[in-house]
Amino acid sequence: MGNSLGLRIPQSCATEAGVEAGSVVDVAVENGDLVVKLSRPRRYRLDELLDGVSAENIHGEVETGDGQGGEVW
C-alpha cells in the first residue's frame, strides 16, 4: 500500500454509516466519483450456490492422489 492516501471521515458521517476505526471498506471510482462503502462479508447459502450449477459448468471428478490417513473408499 505504498504511496496510498488516507481519508478522514467526519464523525457524524462515520456514525451514520456504521464505520469505526479499523472498519474494512471498499473504495471505487464510479463515473468520476470516489465511492467508499462499508465492506460486508458476503453470506452464501448452499441452495443459492447449487442453483448456479448446470450441465454446462459442472466438472467431473478430481484426482487428489492416494489416501493419506484412514480413508475408506
pLDDT tens-place string over residues 30-69: 999 999 999 988 899 999 999 999 999 999 999 888 878 8
- Residue 55 grid cell: 450441465
For the cut 70, the answer to whether the pLDDT of residue 73 exceeds it is no
Q: What are the extents of the domains in the chain?
A: 11-51
pLDDT at 30: 97
pLDDT digits (tens, 9 = 90+) for 11-27: 999 999 999 998 999 99
Task: Classify burial at 66, counting beta carbons within 10 Å of its beta carbon; exposed 0-12, middle 13-18, buried 19 or more.
Answer: exposed
